[in-house]
A = this chain, B = another copy of it.
Amino acid sequence: MRSRHMGGPPWWHGRFRGCGYRFTVPRQAILDVLSGTLKHLSAEDIYFAVHKTYPNVGLTTVYRTLELLVHMGLVFKFDFGDGRARYELSEGPKGARHHHHLVCTSCNRVVDYTDFIDEEVELLGRTEKGLSDKFNFKITNHLIQFYGLCDKCRNSQ
């Protein structure tokens, strides 16, 4: 019974150790923040959130940890066009499903959607296979985003 790990999935600890990394307080805290939201947080967002509980965790550590989490495949990093990277747990709260994004080019709102996801994923799978063979690429990931004007922005102008 590890004392500190009350909130998040305890398998995180093993996942870190398995990769030869230490499971530290800041890392736990950052994962806790990410696992407690459906939003797409920036490094600074996460820094502020962590800061409430652990005021001495620095922004540098947040950046370093996020880079590590992305590298480990626990977190996805996105560019939605607002000049800062956004992060999301690759397996969302309570194992939220794989999804893609709708991005408003005016206000930068981001909407998760899972509609058509099965068809998309099926086609993506075939495409990945075809591309792997043709270009000898080892494909590990994909990105799909739709851009446009959100409800509010299309009406207000």
Q: Oligomeric state, in number of copies?
A: 2
User: A126 on the interface (CB 8 Å rule)?
Assistant: yes
Nearest opposing residue in chain B for A113, CB measure: B131
User: Which 5 residue pairs across A and B have the least CB separation, nearest first?
Assistant: A139-B148, A141-B147, A136-B151, A138-B149, A79-B79
User: Which of B79, B116, B134, B140 is in CB contact (< 8 Å) with A123?
Assistant: B116
Q: Are A113 and B135 in contact (CB under 8 A)?
A: yes
Instruction: List chain A positions with a Cβ less than 8 A from chain B.
Output: 79, 102, 104-105, 111, 113, 115-116, 119-120, 123, 126-128, 130-132, 134-151, 154
User: Which of B135, B137, B148 is in CB contact (< 8 Å) with A137?
Assistant: B148
Given contacts A105-B141, A137-B148, A137-B150, 15 further A-B contacts (CB under 8 A): A79-B79, A102-B135, A102-B139, A113-B134, A113-B135, A115-B134, A116-B127, A120-B127, A132-B148, A135-B151, A138-B149, A138-B154, A139-B146, A143-B143, A143-B146
